[in-house]
Structures are given as structure tokens and as C-alpha cells.
Amino acid sequence: MPTDQPSDLLAWLFPALLAFLCAHVTLECRARLAESLRSADADRWQWLAGAALAFGSGVWSLHINGLMTLPLAFNVHYQTLLLLAAWLLGVALAAAGIWASVAVRVPALAWGLGALLLTLALVGAESLALRAAASEPALAWPLADLATVAGAVGVIALLALALGSWRPAQPGLHTAARLAASLLLAAGLWRGGAQLLNALPLELLAASGSQQGLALSSLGLLARLGTLILLLMTLVVARREAILRASLVQARGDVERESLTDPLTRLPNRQAFELRLKDLGLASERDGSGLALMFIDLDGFKPINESFGHQSGDWLLNTVGQRLSTAAQPGEFVARWGADQFLLLLPGVRAREPLAARARTLLKTIAQPMEVLGRELPVQASVGVAIFPDDGAAALMVSHADAATHAAKAAGGGTFCFFEPHMLHDSREQMELLRDLRRAIEDQELELYFQPKIHAPSGQITGAEALIRWNHPSKGLISPGAFIPVAERFGLIGAIGDWVIDRACRQVHEWREGGLRMRVAINLSVHQLRQDDLAERIGAALQRYEVNPTLLTCEITESVAMENNASSKAFFDKLEQVGVHISIDDFGTGYSSLSYLRQLPAEELKIDAAFVKDLEFSNDARTVVDAVVKLGQALGLKVVAEGVETDIQRDILRQLGCNELQGFLFAKPMAANRLFLWAMSDDGPAHIDFRQSLFGDTQIPDDLDGPVPAR
């Protein structure tokens, strides 16, 4: 008998293609369903319907196609309603199976239940379709055949569902797994369906076949073509949706990553840190291990940014970020909190000693020399440490560590502090202070007080030190110790410093107008010294009020004055050119280099009050003061002692050869007009006279850039 090749091929290829499409579309829609369940999207029902329709229709169509390819000598007729019911049964059972395979929590149970229901969908739809094709007596498969086929299809469906649920990280492997799952299920449906048809007692079908209803021959085209189109369309939709979703997931991932990264340093940002802190806090709570947080705040970053430019500032922040990342040990987490603030989370640490050691190394790491535009940048940080759970809830760690950083800054910076509860109160107060300080200059709440300096041998007033005060509207008079560090920390010192220079010069001018020729000393902050044009500003103020530069002294604390670098040297040279005097304040607290001290164009050393205080009882203090006086004399510097409170201190200081004295014993700092009245009426806090030379006129030299006036 000649074989009809094309029709054989079609008989083989078509059901294979149909089975593959049916399996593939079902599993694709199932994958989309699983995704929409995970992301709680509303399109889950659409994907469930797609999967169920694909499976039910595919199985149904496979059955009809199978029957059509059988060598039947008669035309099978279907009862339309029953045939529709077979399709519906397939779709419904497939829906239940697909849903169970993704919604049941235990994977093995989900796949088992899914595979069982899908097998039932296949067998049930086939059986009902067969029933639709035959009238009397009812046709049925031999039970053994049915059980074998159902068993095999069930196992294959289980494997296909498991494989289709696998989501390996590599995209290639994922595609391969999905394809393998589709092929497996397709093979199961194709071979299972074919085996069921082969097991049919065809002679019974012929004998009992009804001649009424829908003829198989006319149904064929609809079943084959319709199902194929349905499957292809669903496949296209499912694939497009998958591509869309993948790019959406990618975009969402990118946005999320970016939103958690600091754009400048590429370190995790504040938000990322908060997420990590939450996780690590919970973990630490569970296992009882500690969690430490270091809040790292750069000292004096703002002046660097201002004087070196923002690009250099950015570069510095970046370098510090890199140094911290390199210093972080495995498991630790570094983030940038804001401007010049960084955070380091250390899980599993609770003891203070290792943390202290770590903070010390960190400070050293940060403070390694950094060069910008050929100049060495001073980098230094203050570190605050908070420990969970000892210092309170994990959510409060940042504010606690921040408060500890403030304490470290208040201690002079370049150091670390562990959190203590009282610091919280301090830092809140500081914030309020800062808020008020911002408008204090405009609202004219700042005032200069003046404390007389006494010529030690004669006991006469020779000049005064200007000391800033803040008349706070509700808190009253605030001393500089409470707000100057805040002003320095938050970049207000430049404006305040300028105000002091201006007021001091104006005061000298006003006193002179009144007949009092008073020398005044002002205090300069380290942050002011970083302004390149500070000397020019001072010169301009002197000129503005026509004040002789020799009447102004700039007090600079020892540690700052001794910063032996090019910029401070240039500043001192410029000050010298302007003609003002330089005094080294709080002398004895820093580490002066004798050779550098010799080079400094200073006129005065002010012995720190701490030595004066101990003078009566401590031989060491006396030795220090003695040495400073001798040093001053050797270098041709005037020596001033500050903080003199008792007659005994005064006598010792006189005996040791101090040139000038300053302290509450003689007079407390006072308002300018009080000092003036005292000078003019000789009615002061103590029986002290003003030097006669203080009365009379002074004149500004014609040329400020000219030679330094004689002193």
C-alpha cells in the first residue's frame, strides 16, 4: 500500500507542535501568574485564565486531532453540548491545577497537587469527549490502560512543574530550564493522548457511533486551526509581557540601587544605612550579640571647602570615603550620612576596649596627609560611638552616636567619645543655640566686653582684651565658650569674627574720640585663620575707623599659632605687614617648637590660666611660669598672665617677672561704656589707675603698607 508521506508527517508533526505549544503556553502563563502573585499584581487572573485555556483547549484539540488521524471507516459525530462540557472540564481542572501549583506554600505539595489536577484535566476531558462521540452503550477505556497513562502523565507533569518553577540566577540556564519543562510536558500530553486513543476499542466506537450531532470532519478545522491560533496568540502575549516585565524589573532594580547610593562617594547613602541598621538591629536582638555604630564627622571641613573650592572639597570627601571603605572589615558597613559625615556599623561588637582601639586607628587612617593643588590639606575627624543595646534602641543609635561626636568636637576634635545619656541634652541644646545664633548678628544681640590688662610692676591699666558676649533674648548673657565652638562647627565663625574685628576697631575709635587711647586685643579662631584675606580684612577695618594698627593685638591660641605650615606663616607675615601685634594665647597648653616660636613675629605670650590657678600650691606650675617668663625674656616677648584671682597669685607673678596681668582680681570683663566711665571718673571695680599714656589722641599712619610703626 503506498504511504501518503505529507499526511503522515502532518499526522505526526501537527500533534507534536500542538502539544508543545499547549505545554509551553501553559507553563509561560503559569510563570507570569507566579510573578504576579509574588509582586501582588492585579493581572493574576488573566494569567490563570491564559494557562487554563491553553491547557484545556490544547488537550481538547489534541483529542480531536488524534481521532481525525485514526483510520476510521466512518465519520464520528459529537453531541455538541457534551463536547463543550469536555472542553470546559479540561479548562476548569487545568485552572485548579495551575493555581495549586503556584499558590500552595510547600513546593513539593504544590507540584504534586498541580500535576494530579492537570492529569485529571487530560483524562477527564478525553473521557467526556469520548462520551460525547458515542451514544449507546457508553464507551470507556480499559481501566489498566487508563491508570498507566494517567500515572505516566502525572509523573511527567510533576517534573515539568518542578522544572518550570526553578529560577536559576543565570538567564541562559533559566531559559533552558523553561524550555525543558515545556518539552517534557508536551511529550507527556502528546504521548499520553496518543496512547489513550490507541487503547480505544475502535470497533465499539464504530458500532455505537451516532450519526447525529457535530461531525468530526467539520469540527477538525475549527479544533486544529482555532486552537493553534489561540495558543500562538497567548504565547505572543505571554512573551511580550515577560520581556516587558524583565525590563521593568531591571529598571526598578537600577532605580532602587541608585536611590540607595550616594552620588559623590558611591557609598551606600542614608536610606541604605537605615535599612541595614534595621536588619542588623533585629539580628543583634535575636542572637544577643552587640552592634556598634561610629559616627564620623570631619573637623573643619567647611572652611576647607570655602578656601580650596568645592571641587577640592568633593575630592576630599571622596578620599575619606575610600579610606573608610578600605578600613572596613568583612561584615562591617560604611555609609555616607550627609555633608562631611560618614557612618560605620560594626556588627557583633559590644566591648568598649576593641571599639576604642578601632576608633583610634580609624582617626589615624582618615588623618593621613592629603594633597590638593600642591598644598597639604588638614584632614581630621571626630568620632562618636554608640553601642546597641547598651545605649538604647537601634533606631536611636545614629542620634546617640551623633551626640557623642558633638562631645568629641567640643573636646577639641580629632578624637572619639562613647555616648553618654547627658550628651543628648547637650546636642539638642546646641541645635537650638545654632538656630538662634544665625540671627544673633542681624538682631544685634552680640556685644564685646572688655577685660583690662594690668601692667604688673605699676598696677596700671595698659589695655583690654575684647571678649565676645551674646545677649540671648531668653537665655540671658551667654559666654563665648558656649557658642563659639557651635559657630566654628557650623561655619558661622567667619561672620562673627568679622563682626568682632569691626566692633573692636570701632570701639577703639569711639574711645579715642572720647579721649581714651586704649589698646585692644581680639581673639582669632583657627577657622578664621583659614580665610585667605583675613589680614586684609583686619587692615581694612583699621583703616575704616582710622585706628593705629599698634593699638590692636590679635590673640591666637598656641596650638594654632604653632601650626608650622606655609599658609599660617603667610598669614603671620601679612599681619606683621599690617602692623598689628600678635599674642600667643593659652601658652603652655600646646607643644611649642622653640625654633618656630623664634621665627614667629609675635610680641606677647599669654600664660594659660591653668598654671596661674595652680601657682599657689604647685611647684610644677611655678616652674612652668618661671620658664615661660624666662623664655619670653630671651625671645624679647612680653609675658602676660591671665586668670589672676588672688593677691598671692599676683605677687608670685610679679616676683617671677611677668609683664602684664589679667584676671578677676583686677576686673571682670565689662561693657565698653563701663570701662570708659571707669577710666574717665576713676571709679572702677578696684583701686586701679589707667595709665596716663592711655589718655590723649592717636593717629593712623599715612601708609598702612609702610614700615611697622615703632612700639
The H-assigned helical ranges of 39-79 are: 44-69
Is 466 within 8 Å of 507 (Cβ atoms)?
Answer: yes
Q: Which is nearer to ligand C2E, 239 or 455 (CB)?
A: 455
Q: Which is nearer to Mg ion, 52 or 521 (CB)?
A: 521
Q: Using CB distances below 5 to 8 A depending on partner kind, what does residue 592 bind out of ligand C2E, Mg ion, none?
A: none
Is 110 within 8 Å of 98 (Cβ atoms)?
Answer: no
Stretch of 87-95, 138-146, 287-295, 660-668 lying at the interface with ligand C2E (CB under 6 A): 660-668
Q: Which is nearer to ligand C2E, 308 or 664 (CB)?
A: 664
Among 347, 480, 539, 588, binds ligand C2E (CB under 6 A): 480
Stretch of 172-180, 477-485, 504-512, 515-523 lying at the interface with Mg ion (CB under 5 A): 515-523
Among 299, 402, 604, 642, binds ligand C2E (CB under 6 A): 642
Identify whether 601 is preceded by a cis peptide bond (ω within 30 of 0): no
Q: CB-based contacts of 324: which residues, under 8 Å, 6+ apart?
A: 267, 296, 334, 342, 344, 362, 365, 366
- Nine-digit cell string for 21: 505549544
Residue 212 burial (C-beta neighbours within 10 Å; 0-12, 13-18, 19+): exposed
Instruction: State the nearest-atom distance from the C-beta of 442 to Mg ion, in Å.
Output: 26
d(CA 201, CA 204): 6
Confirm or reject binding of residue 586 to Mg ion (CB under 5 A).
yes
Strand partners, 662: 642
Q: Which is nearer to Mg ion, 344 or 597 (CB)?
A: 597
Among 555, 558, 604, 660, binds Mg ion (CB under 5 A): 555
Instruction: State the nearest-atom distance from the C-beta of 504 to Mg ion, in Å.
Output: 12
Q: Which is nearer to ligand C2E, 114 or 669 (CB)?
A: 669
d(CA 667, CA 309): 44
Q: Which is nearer to ligand C2E, 120 or 518 (CB)?
A: 518
- Nine-digit cell string for 135: 451514544
CA 13 to each of CA 5, 10, 17, 62: distance values in angstroms, whole numbers, following the listed order: 12, 5, 6, 12
The H-assigned helical ranges of 288-421 are: 301-308, 310-327, 352-366, 397-410
Is 261 within 8 Å of 319 (Cβ atoms)?
Answer: no
- Nine-digit cell string for 349: 561588637
The H-assigned helical ranges of 515-618 are: 526-529, 534-544, 558-561, 566-578, 594-599, 609-614
Nearest Cα neighbor of 181 from 125, 106, 101 is 101
How many residues touch ligand C2E under the rule CB under 6 A: the total is: 23
The secondary structure of residue 475, as a DSSP letter, is T
Confirm or reject binding of residue 481 to ligand C2E (CB under 6 A).
yes
Handedness of CA 266, 272, 277, 279 (dihedral sign): negative
Among 299, 585, 604, 660, binds Mg ion (CB under 5 A): 585
Q: Using CB distances below 5 to 8 A depending on partner kind, what does residue 374 bind out of ligand C2E, Mg ion, none?
A: none
Residues 516-545 that bind ligand C2E (CB under 6 A): 523-525
Confirm or reject binding of residue 586 to ligand C2E (CB under 6 A).
yes
User: By Cβ distance, which residue is nearest to Mg ion?
Assistant: 555
Residue type (1 letter), 676: F
DSSP H or E run through 569 = helix 566-578
Confirm or reject binding of residue 285 to ligand C2E (CB under 6 A).
no
Stretch of 223-231, 392-400, 405-413, 480-488 lying at the interface with ligand C2E (CB under 6 A): 480-488
Q: Which is nearer to ligand C2E, 48 or 467 (CB)?
A: 467
Q: How many CB atoms lie within 10 A of CB 199?
A: 15
- Nine-digit cell string for 169: 540566577
Pairing of strands 476-478, 519-524: unpaired
Among 126, 299, 585, 604, binds ligand C2E (CB under 6 A): 585
Q: Using CB distances below 5 to 8 A depending on partner kind, what does residue 299 bind out of Mg ion, ligand C2E, none?
A: none
Stretch of 327-335, 452-460, 583-591, 593-601 lying at the interface with Mg ion (CB under 5 A): 583-591
Stretch of 64-72, 154-162, 198-206, 521-529 lying at the interface with Mg ion (CB under 5 A): 521-529
d(CA 366, CA 325): 11
Q: Which is nearer to ligand C2E, 119 or 659 (CB)?
A: 659
Instruction: State the nearest-atom distance from the C-beta of 479 to ligand C2E, in Å.
Output: 4
How many residues touch Mg ion under the rule CB under 5 A: the total is: 4
Stretch of 174-182, 274-282, 470-478, 554-562 lying at the interface with Mg ion (CB under 5 A): 554-562
Q: Which is nearer to ligand C2E, 14 or 664 (CB)?
A: 664
Confirm or reject binding of residue 555 to ligand C2E (CB under 6 A).
yes
d(CA 477, CA 487): 16
CA angle 117, 121, 127 (to 5 degrees): 135
Is 497 within 8 Å of 439 (Cβ atoms)?
Answer: no
Q: Using CB distances below 5 to 8 A depending on partner kind, what does residue 663 bind out of Mg ion, ligand C2E, none?
A: ligand C2E
Residue type (1 letter), 10: L
Confirm or reject binding of residue 361 to ligand C2E (CB under 6 A).
no
Q: Which is nearer to ligand C2E, 17 or 610 (CB)?
A: 610
Among 464, 467, 561, 656, binds ligand C2E (CB under 6 A): 467
Q: Which is nearer to Mg ion, 156 or 448 (CB)?
A: 448
Instruction: State the nearest-atom distance from the C-beta of 498 to Mg ion, in Å.
Output: 18
Is 433 within 8 Å of 482 (Cβ atoms)?
Answer: yes
Q: Which is nearer to ligand C2E, 500 or 551 (CB)?
A: 500
Confirm or reject binding of residue 500 to ligand C2E (CB under 6 A).
yes
Confirm or reject binding of residue 468 to ligand C2E (CB under 6 A).
yes
- Nine-digit cell string for 567: 599658609
Nearest Cα neighbor of 92 from 66, 64, 59 is 59
Among 57, 227, 341, 523, binds Mg ion (CB under 5 A): 523
Instruction: State the nearest-atom distance from the C-beta of 405 to ligand C2E, in Å.
Output: 22
Confirm or reject binding of residue 669 to ligand C2E (CB under 6 A).
yes
Per-residue binding string, Mg ion, 394-413, x by CB under 5 A, is --------------------
Is 459 within 8 Å of 478 (Cβ atoms)?
Answer: no
Confirm or reject binding of residue 478 to ligand C2E (CB under 6 A).
no
Stretch of 153-161, 473-481, 505-513, 681-689 lying at the interface with ligand C2E (CB under 6 A): 473-481
Nearest Cα neighbor of 408 from 384, 430, 431 is 384
d(CA 587, CA 627): 12
d(CA 21, CA 473): 82
Instruction: State the nearest-atom distance from the C-beta of 421 to ligand C2E, in Å.
Output: 27
Confirm or reject binding of residue 553 to Mg ion (CB under 5 A).
no
Q: How many CB atoms lie within 10 A of CB 637?
A: 22
Residues 397-456 that bind ligand C2E (CB under 6 A): 451
Instruction: State the nearest-atom distance from the C-beta of 642 to Mg ion, in Å.
Output: 5
Confirm or reject binding of residue 643 to ligand C2E (CB under 6 A).
yes
Confirm or reject binding of residue 479 to ligand C2E (CB under 6 A).
yes
Ramachandran class of 670: left when φ > 0, alpha when ψ lies in -120 to 50, beta otherwise: beta
CA angle 520, 523, 527 (to 5 degrees): 150
Is 157 within 8 Å of 108 (Cβ atoms)?
Answer: no
Residue type (1 letter), 525: S
**Residue ranges binding ligand C2E (CB under 6 A):** 451, 467-468, 479-481, 484, 500, 523-525, 555, 585-586, 609, 642-645, 662-664, 669
**Residue ranges binding Mg ion (CB under 5 A):** 523, 555, 585-586
